Amino acid sequence: MSPRPGFTMAEVLVSLTILSMVGAGVASMLTAVSQGTTAQTATQRVTVKRRVLTSRVDAALRSSCRVLAIGRDVVVLWTGDSRANGLPDLSELRRIEWRAGSGEMWMYAARPDLDEKRDRTFTFDQNFETLTRIWRRSKYFPGQRWGRDIVAWEPSVDSGALGDVRLVRYDITVRNDDGSEAIATRAVALRGRVP
């Protein structure tokens, strides 16, 4: 009788060792792909967040006719002379501000149904940063949150009188959940008609 064909213990151990090395290699490749996909998704998310935010700010700036106030974290805009009185009214103002404490960007504007009795007319020599800061607490000048996780926002204009400014520059830094950040530097021309 001839011996039965089979594997020796050494052959079984060698095959198990090879199989475990192949399994470890596959597991490490899957882990690398998973981490790469997560990082790419985080980058895409922060890029989308930055683009949405810059689109909103750009549209607000572009449609305005005049910068009434600018600070380290706020811009007050005159959207145009819709009441045809040559002066800014509450219904024609827009305030864009960054809140460093919460990392949020807010835009304030008068309600569309604001009646003429409640609409206030201002002169150009008034402090529009203070006025809009006070009015933002009222129901007539409500705010809308434009974005979260904003690390920094720095608007600026060229030196000179605010009434002559036609270009607003700003840098904005947005942070994602994983801590990655995206920075955008923008320059936007005001295209609204100056009365």
Q: Per-residue pLDDT for 37 more than 80?
A: no
Q: What is the mean pLDDT of residues 129-136?
A: 93
Q: Which residue has the higher pLDDT, 155 or 36?
A: 155
Q: Per-residue pLDDT for 116 more than 90?
A: no
Give a yes or no: residue 11 inside a domain.
no
Give a yes or no: residue 76 inside a domain.
yes
- The total domain count for the chain is 1
Provide the domain limits for residue 51: 41-189
Give a yes or no: residue 3 inside a domain.
no
What count of other Cβ atoms lies within 10 Å of the Cβ of residue 152? 16
Give a yes or no: residue 5 inside a domain.
no
Strand order from edge to edge, sheet including 66-70? 66-70, 74-78, 93-99, 104-109, 143-147
pLDDT at 9: 81
Give a yes or no: residue 174 inside a domain.
yes
Tell me how far apart the alpha carbons of residues 57 and 106 are, in angstroms, rounded to a whole number. 10
Give a yes or no: residue 105 inside a domain.
yes
DSSP of 160-186: S-GGG--EEEEEEEEE-TTS-EEEEEE
pLDDT at 195: 62
What count of other Cβ atoms lies within 10 Å of the Cβ of residue 108? 21
pLDDT band at 159 (very low <50, low <70, confident <90, very high): confident
Percent of the chain with pLDDT over 90: 52
pLDDT in tens, 141-153: 999 999 999 999 9
Q: What is the mean pLDDT of residues 131-136?
A: 92
Beta bridge partners of 121: 89
Mean of pLDDT over the chain: 88
Tell me how far apart the alpha carbons of residues 45 and 25 are, in angstroms, rounded to a whole number. 30
pLDDT in tens, 39-80: 667 777 778 888 899 999 999 999 999 999 999 999 999 998
Give a yes or no: residue 29 inside a domain.
no
Q: What is the mean pLDDT of residues 177-183?
A: 82
pLDDT at 45: 79
pLDDT in tens, 183-194: 899 999 998 776
Give a yes or no: residue 16 inside a domain.
no
